[in-house]
Structures are given as structure tokens and as C-alpha cells.
Amino acid sequence: MKRFIGILMLVVFMMVAVVGCEKQPEADGDKAAGDIKIHVGVIEPVTGPQAPLGQAEYDGIQMAIEMINEKGGVMGKYPITFDFADSQSDPAIGASEAERLITSKGVPVLMGSYSSAIAAAISEVAERNKVVLWEMSGAADSLLLKGYEWTFRNEANASAWGAESVEFIMGNDAAIQEKLGKSAKDLVVAIVHEDGPYGAAVADGNRATAKKYNMNVAVDEAYSAKSVDLSSIILKIKSANPDVLLLTGYVNDGILFNRQAKELGLTVPILITHSGGHSVQAFVDGVGKDADFLMTVDPVPCNPNTEGFSAEYAAIFEEFVSRWTDKFGVPPYHHVEYRQFAQTMLFFNEIVPAAIEASGEFTAEAVAEAIRNADIPAENSLMGHGAKFSTPDKPWTDPWLGNQHTGQNYEARAFINQYFDGTLVTVWPENLAKQEAVLFLPAEHPLARK
């Protein structure tokens, strides 16, 4: 009997040894494609007052995911799936939907979300649940001033847009002296903006940079984007007779401003708008030819010279333009659809592969770590700039307001785009410019000073 038990134990030992010699499960970094699920939550306002812009952003995200999945998914082997939530243009609903996506759908990453107010509400949910918010459009500076560890913004913060327009003016000092007979720093400036967190942040950048150069800010006015009459502000601008109008608003108020400015006879040599409602097709549809020669500061180079991108990303851009134009009848040359497409591509082509290669997982922790360690060259991003992110232990201090931002891409910058024949084209910086900027409104424009 003892001999039998001994033989049995020997057999068992040999079986264990054989199993132990078989190929063990692959290390995390070499997991089979079926072991990694790329699933995210997308939140955009496709109903409510922000719906036209939110829908365009959602369409851009979907098209990027579609193009990646047609090639097998992330790294050619991990298909992307997502659950969508409509914030209904309401921050409270956005926060509630973010909570639902995290708790019911188990998403480790949230993407979106158009307005700064909605982004702020969602960021609190993401922070509490330790889920990544890859914020692609909430530009207000206040979003990243709380030291949150789980919210990241790839595009430039809104005050950078305001700073860029003033720096652009200062960079054209010679042309200004020739045309107006005074230096750029001696120009009379009017700053007018909608009073939400986005408009206020842009104006902060305008104001701080104008102060840096001791420029004369003769008008500094805020208004509600829901206003139905802007005539009092327009008359203040007209009375001040500025050389430069720096204007920030949304679609409906932008159209209203244009109409009432013409009716009240407002004219100005230089007019620069700041993305928002001026850099969307709905604005062009609302004002027609009046859009021509308006400059808009955007977080992306709309309709850029693709020589500034790598060959791979130039090809991706051209395919995007072709697909979008075929599907919607107009090219994707506005900031809403383009920036969401560009940043979705950046996330799944650059960030997620880095997370998987480092950890073998697609988790909030892995993605957050990949973002914090990112060092992406400008040529590998359709945003037109590189990507390096500030962290809680190393926040980024912006040079115009001195605020410290956590989770901000400090390589991000703003761009100057301009309308020609109803089409928005990049005019600054030079490496991405497709056309030379027209600084002064030409005589044929209804708001041009003759």
C-alpha cells in the first residue's frame, strides 16, 4: 500500500512539473488582443442650445474611431467601442451621465465634452471616481486650477487664445505703422466678450497681454450670450473709435453682433474673433459674405498646410477631409469637428499604445500614467503642436496670468485662421499657414473703416 501511495505521489509530481514547463500566460505587456478591451465613454451635447456644435464634435469623434477600427483598432489589433451620453447642454446632466457611464458601463476614460461649464462638472465626477477625463474642448482656464489628477486637456487654455491675438498684432508692427501711422503698442483696443467662463478667460488673456505692451484698452465689456440686443455695447465701441476689436462669443450672439454692428455703422481697421461661435459653419451660414476676412483664434489650425505634419498624419488629414465632405457636403474646416477628430486620433494612436506597451492594460491608471509621461512631437498630432502634460507635482504656470495648471498640455498653442470665400484657412504660424493673413479689413467689408 505504501509503495502504491509513493508511486501515485510521484505521478502527481511529474504531472505538476510538466504543466509547469508548459508555456505560461504571457506577461502583461504581451497580452493577446482578446485580453485588452478598449472601451470609453463619450459625452457631448447633441440636444439643447449647444447641440449644433456638440453634434459636430460627436461626429468628429465617431469618424476618428471609425477610421481607426477599419485598420483593426488601436495598434491594429484592439478595436475601440464606446458608450455615448447626451449632456443636453446642461452641466448637471453632464455630471449625472458621467456618473452613469462610470458606474453602469465601467468606462475607465471619459471623452468630450464641448462647453467649459459641462467639462468642469464632469471633471469633479472623474476625480471622485479616479477615471480619466480626456477633455478636448472645455477651454476655460478654471478647469485645471484645482490640482485634479484625473483631468487632462490637450488643447491650449482659453486665456492663451486671448494672448495669441494680441501677440499676433504686435508681430505685425511694421504693417500697422505703414497703414495706420502708429506703432502696434499705441493702438486703441476694444475687448468685448460673452460673460461665461470661456469668454471671460479669453478676455483675461487679451487684457493681460495688452497690459504687457502698455496698450490703450478703451473698451472692456462683457455681455450674456443669451442677449437679444447688443446695441448699447456696439455704441460704446463706436464712440471709442478703436483700431482693434477683440471679440469673443458664440453663434447666435456672433450673428446678432454682426447684424447690429452694420446697422449702427460700427467700423474698425482690425477685427479678431476668438473661436467659439465665429469658427463654425452655422456662423458662416448666418452672416454669409460678411464672414470673409474675419480672423479667428482657434485651438487648432483649421484647413492647414499639411507639410507641417508627418506623412502618416498628413494622409490621415486628407482622408478625414474627403470622408467628411462626402458625408456632410462641406469640408471639416472649423474648430469643433476638427479638434475632436484630431484629439481622438492623438489619444488612440499615441496615448493608448503607450499605456498598453507600458502596462499591458487599458485602465484609468495606465492611461493617466501614459498621458503624464507623454512627449509627442508636433508632427505626430493634427493639433499642430506637441504634447507634454503638467502634473500635480509639476504644474505649469502660464506666462500671461501666472496661474498654475495641472493636467494641461503645456506644448499647446493657439492659431490664427481667416475666412476667404467662406472657407476658414490657417494664416499663422507660418509652418502651417496655407495663405497669408490679411490684417486689415478690406474696403469691401461692411465693418471696414474706410
* 2-11: pLDDT as tens digits: 444 444 444 4
φ/ψ of 419, rounded to 5, equals -85, 130
Mean pLDDT over 328-336 rounds to 94
Q: Is the pLDDT of residue 19 over 90?
A: no
> What percentage of the chain reaches a pLDDT higher than 90?
90
Look at residue 44 in the predicted model and tell me its pLDDT: 98
Domains of the chain in sequence order:
33-156+313-413 (3.40.50.2300), 159-298+416-428 (3.40.50.2300)
Nearest by Cα to 380 from 428, 314, 431: 314
C-alpha cell at 243: 483700431
Spatial distance between the Cα atoms of 140 and 197, rounded to a whole number of angstroms: 6
CA distances (Å), origin 445, targets 270, 403, 409: 11, 39, 37
Spatial distance between the Cα atoms of 104 and 106, rounded to a whole number of angstroms: 6
Mean pLDDT over 156-174 rounds to 97
Look at residue 154 in the predicted model and tell me its pLDDT: 97
Residue 390 corresponds to which amino acid?
S
Q: Is the pLDDT of residue 145 over 50?
A: yes
C-alpha cell at 134: 480626456
Give 52's pLDDT tier (boundaries 50, 70, 90): confident
Look at residue 33 in the predicted model and tell me its pLDDT: 56
φ/ψ of 212, rounded to 5, equals -55, -35
Spatial distance between the Cα atoms of 202 and 204, rounded to a whole number of angstroms: 5
Look at residue 11 in the predicted model and tell me its pLDDT: 40
Spatial distance between the Cα atoms of 82 and 73, rounded to a whole number of angstroms: 13
Tell me: the pLDDT tens digits for 252-283?
A: 999 999 999 999 999 999 999 999 899 999 99
Look at residue 24 in the predicted model and tell me its pLDDT: 38
Give 323's pLDDT tier (boundaries 50, 70, 90): very high
The 8-class DSSP code of residue 412 comes to -
Average pLDDT, the chain: 93
User: Across 338-414, where does the E strand assignment appear?
Assistant: 396-397, 404-405
Q: Are 319 and 441 in contact, with CB atoms under 8 Å apart?
A: no
